[in-house]
Amino acid sequence: MKAFPIKRALLAGVTGTLFFDVFGLMVSAIMGNPAWWDIPALLAGKLGLPLFFGVLAHYLNGIVLAVIYAAVAPFLWGSKWMRALTYITVETVLGVWLFMAPLLGMGIAGVNGPMGTLFAVISLVRHWVYAIGLALFIPISVSLPASDAAPSAAS
């Protein structure tokens, strides 16, 4: 049995979160409002703590999502890219659109927020960019059931 890829999950979580942040900065710059670390700033503000703690919470969340992905990825279908995109799409719909956005008073998928339906699209694409880190760094090993295994030399 292979060891759980914790180091790879840590690397994937940090890298994916960095990709998420850089893409978010690019989108906000295109929209005329460059905002580096918009999510950490939001977290820090809601927690009433300095920005450092918002950044820490944001990156720890990225790591936790990567660890969960490393555990469930062998049970998903498709290529490593399809598995990462499937996982992160489900996470975005359940975690962001149906939980965080309403919790922040923006309604389901953030459609009642300042960006309207654009929030839903941008949040999904940002999370897909995060998934690049998952696909790049977390190895996928799938064990075949005994009946599907290659025939042994003895048979």
**CA 58, 59, 60: angle at the middle one, nearest 5?**
95
Tens-place pLDDT, residues 126-137: 999 999 999 999
Question: 78-87, 93-102, 109-118: which range is least confident on average?
Answer: 109-118
| pLDDT on residue 155 | 47
User: pTM of the predicted model, to two decimals?
Assistant: 0.86
- Cα(88)–Cα(97) distance, integer angstroms: 12
| pLDDT on residue 88 | 98
| pLDDT on residue 96 | 95
- Cα(12)–Cα(132) distance, integer angstroms: 8
